[in-house]
Structure 1
Amino acid sequence: MKTSIGITPKNLLEVSKVLNVLLADEHILYIKTRKAHWNIEGKDFLTMHNFFEDQYKQIETIIDELAERIRTIGHYAVGSLTEFLELTHLSEKSNSKTDSATFMKILLEDHESIIIHIREQLDKVGEDLKDEGTNDFLTGLLKAHEKMAWMLRAHL
């Protein structure tokens, strides 16, 4: 059934494109955070192992909420690794070091990149595309990433 929520079909399509890019970014960040959780070594192993687990669980929730928001506005969420890699603006930067500082710096860069990207989308989604519901949703994502970035930054 067609979505009729007071936003033009063209605008809903554009909003879904914005959200699918974020969905791709979140998946890349999720995998990189899981990698840190799995591969962390050092004197702070247990603390950081648990810290990264907490962060990937938060990202997992964000992923589900993003996909559901895309469906709420009448479009489909991307769901393949190929699509994620095509849409993301993050890199799969690999690192050979397995210490907490290295992992945290890489993840912090990604959170900050997502924060900047979300900020760049707020006026477009709210003002240009007239979707205040998604704009509010994006503001919540922004705050979640700011907090996760703060937690990473506080450890460095």
Structure 2
Amino acid sequence: MAVSIGIPKKEREQIAKHLSKLLADTYSLYLKTHSFHWNITGPQFNSLHTMFETQYNELWLAADEVAERIRTLDVFAPGSYSQFGKLTSIKEESGVPDWKVMVNQLVEGHEIAAHTARQTIKAASTAGDEGSADLVTGRLKEHEKTAWMLRSLLK
């Protein structure tokens, strides 16, 4: 059955490309945050271990929301490490840095995701896709807030 939600196929595909990049950023940030949760050490251990757990759980749920929005637009969502690696701008961390470097990397990751979200909102708004714009506006606010909270730890 053809999709008839008021957004032409070409525009749905364009929005889905932006959403796929946001999904890749979200999933990459999820993996990094979860790894840091497992491997945090030092005097900030308890507070950061708990904070990172809250953050990776939020990112996990967000990834599902973004992927389901892509499917709502009748486009297949990326779902492999290689696809995410090509789409994301978030740098992978294969080592175990100290807690300050972890926090800095997470701030940077959330800021990158915020930039991706802004571009996605523009594309969705231009196409009249209020549903995607609304979803991504919530994601933007969450990435900005999380970056602020993490940045505050470093002052």
Q: TM-score of the superposition, structure 1-length normalised?
A: 0.92
Could you tell me whether the CA contact under 8 Å between 1:2 and 1:74 is conserved in 2? no
The percentage of counterpart residues that share the same residue type is: 42
Could you tell me whether the CA contact under 8 Å between 2:110 and 2:147 is conserved in 1? yes
Could you tell me whether the CA contact under 8 Å between 2:30 and 2:59 is conserved in 1? yes
After the TM superposition, which residues 7-156 of structure 1 pair with which residues of structure 2 at under 5 Å, given as runs? 7-98=7-98, 100-127=99-126, 129-156=127-154
Separation in structure 1 between the aligned mates of residue 121 and residue 131 of structure 2, nearest angstrom: 11
Q: Tell me the CA shift for residue 101 of structure 1.
A: 1.4
Moved over 3 A (4+): 93-96
Give the secondary-structure state (helix, strand or coil) at the position aligned to 1:112: helix
Can you give the 5+ residue segments of structure 1 that lack an aligned partner in the other structure? none
Could you tell me whether the CA contact under 8 Å between 1:33 and 1:55 is conserved in 2? yes
RMSD over aligned CA atoms reads 1.3
Could you tell me whether the CA contact under 8 Å between 2:36 and 2:96 is conserved in 1? no
Could you tell me whether the CA contact under 8 Å between 2:18 and 2:119 is conserved in 1? no
Q: TM-score of the superposition, structure 2-length normalised?
A: 0.93
Could you tell me whether the CA contact under 8 Å between 2:33 and 2:56 is conserved in 1? yes
Separation in structure 1 between the aligned mates of residue 74 and residue 68 of structure 2, nearest angstrom: 10
Separation in structure 2 between the aligned mates of residue 40 and residue 144 of structure 1, nearest angstrom: 23
Could you tell me whether the CA contact under 8 Å between 2:39 and 2:96 is conserved in 1? no
Separation in structure 2 between the aligned mates of residue 65 and residue 89 of structure 1, nearest angstrom: 20
Separation in structure 2 between the aligned mates of residue 133 and residue 96 of structure 1, nearest angstrom: 39
